[in-house]
Amino acid sequence: MRYRDRPGIRRLESTNTDDWQEAQRQLRERLQARDNNTLATVSRGEQLTVGEWADFFIENYSKPPIRATKTHDVNENALKSLRSVFGSIKLTEIDATGIESHIRNRLKQRKRVRRKSGVVELGLLKPATVHQEFQALRRILSVAVKRSSAHRTPAPLSSSRSS
């Protein structure tokens, strides 16, 4: 796609797709971001990984006095499992399918605790534990959208669920 940025400099970027309609959609998003003066942050979000954004979130949006100490602890705990799956994925590439499959896989895993004898596996993880991890991921990604580091929220995160 070719377009001119805010100062009028011509930009050439790959859409990474063979579908003409998808490429046009991406171009429209780029032009909209340019017109809203958020093009630089959207471009930065395409280079940022979930792990890097999570570090930024923990440092700037999770610690007290912005969040309660317990919420911060829950966020850090949740990121232990989330980093292994989503840490290296670009912020703009995370999708609903990946999140849903991670939740299904986590529900099948066993709780691991450290004891003097070593690491011991107990019963299956409780759904509440997996839901806490999901809520932490949801908070992290929604802040990314609000800060314009990502231009959309994955589908399962956009609907509010009650539990």
Per-chain mean pLDDT for the chain: 85
3-state helix, strand, coil in the chain (%, to 5): 60, 15, 30
Looking at residue 157, what is its pLDDT? 64
Sign of torsion, CA 22 27 32 37? positive
pLDDT at 18 over 80: yes
Containing domain of residue 2, as a range? 1-37
Task: Give the distance, in angstroms, between the CA of residue 87 and the centroid of all CA atoms in the same chain.
Answer: 9
Domains identified in the chain, total number: 2
Quick one: 49 exposed, middle or buried, by C-beta within 10 A (0-12, 13-18, 19+)? middle
In a domain, 80, yes or no: yes
What would the mean pLDDT of 21-37 be, rounded to a whole number?
Answer: 86
Please tell me whether the overall predicted TM-score, pTM, comes out greater than 0.75 for this model: no
The residue ranking higher by pLDDT, 160 or 144, is 144
Domain shared by 75 and 133, yes or no: yes
Task: Give the pLDDT of residue 43.
Answer: 61
